[in-house]
Amino acid sequence: MHELSIATNLISLALEAIQNKSPALHTSAPRVDQVTLRVGRLAGVDAEALQFCYEIATRDTPLAGSQLVIEEVPAVVYCPACQAERELPSVQRFVCPECGQPTAELRRGRELELTCIQLVEPDTVSPPAG
C-alpha cells in the first residue's frame, strides 16, 4: 500500500528529528505529540488511508498515540498570460481559471513534506495545585 510506505517514511524522519532534538540532559527519549504533514492535492495521497496507516505504523514507536495533522496544499499553477499564480479549481484540467489559458507550470500541489514535529515537553506538565 502506497500510504503505508509514506507513513513508515514519516516515522523514520520523525525518529531522526527526535534524536537530533533530544538534549543530552534528557535520559529518556521524548514522546511525539503531533506530526504535521503538508500534502499537495496532486501528491496522490489519500489522507484518510494515510491516517489509518499512520496509526498502525506508529504502534510500538515513540510516535504511538500521536496525532497526524494533514495540511492540504491546493494545486497552484503559474499562468503566463495573467503573469500570476492561479489556484486550480480542478486538478483534472491544467488551465488558468481566469483566462482559460492552458498551463503546465505547476507551482504548488505536489508537496509531501513533514513540516512540524511537536514533542511532549515534560516541563509543560503543570505541577499539582497547592
Q: Does 80 bind Zn ion (CB under 5 A)?
A: no
Q: Does 96 bind Zn ion (CB under 5 A)?
A: yes
Q: Does 82 bind Zn ion (CB under 5 A)?
A: yes
Min dist CB 23 to Zn ion, Å, is 50
Q: Does 91 bind Zn ion (CB under 5 A)?
A: no
Q: Which of these ranges, 23-31, 58-66, 90-98, 113-121, lies near Zn ion under the rule CB under 5 A?
A: 90-98
Q: Find the residue with minimal CB distance to Zn ion.
A: 96
Q: What is the DSSP string of the chain?
A: -HHHHHHHHHHHHHHHHHHHH--TT--SPPPEEEEEEEEETTS---HHHHHHHHHHHTTTSTTTTPEEEEEEEPPEEEETTTTEEEE-S-TT--B-TTT--B---EEES--EEEEEEEE--GGGSPPPP-
Q: Does 81 bind Zn ion (CB under 5 A)?
A: yes
The C-alpha cell that represents 24 in the structure block: 543530552
Q: Does 99 bind Zn ion (CB under 5 A)?
A: yes
Q: Does 79 bind Zn ion (CB under 5 A)?
A: yes
Q: Which residues bind Zn ion (CB under 5 A)?
A: 79, 81-82, 96, 98-99, 101
